[in-house]
Amino acid sequence: MTRIDQTFARLKAEGRGGLVTFITAGDPDYDTSLSLLKGLPGAGADIVELGMPFSDPMADGPAIQSSSLRALKGGQNMKKTLAMVREFRTENQDTPIVLMGYYNPIYIYGVDRFVTDASEAGADGLIIVDMPPEEDEELRPAASEKGLNFIRLATPTTDARRLPAVLANTSGFVYYVSIAGITGTAAPDVSSVGAHVARIKAHTDLPIAIGFGVKSPQQVRELAALAEGVVVGSALVSSIEETLDANGQATAETKPKLLGFVEYLAEALHEPAEASAI
Residues taking part in catalysis: 49, 60
Distance CA 140, CA 115 (A): 10
Strand-strand pairing, 208-211 and 229-232: parallel
Question: How far is residue 114's CA from residue 99's CA, in Å, rounded to a whole number?
Answer: 11
Distance CA 276, CA 278 (A): 6
The residue among 120, 51, 125 whose CA lies nearest residue 95 is 125
- CA pair distance 150, 154, nearest whole angstrom: 13
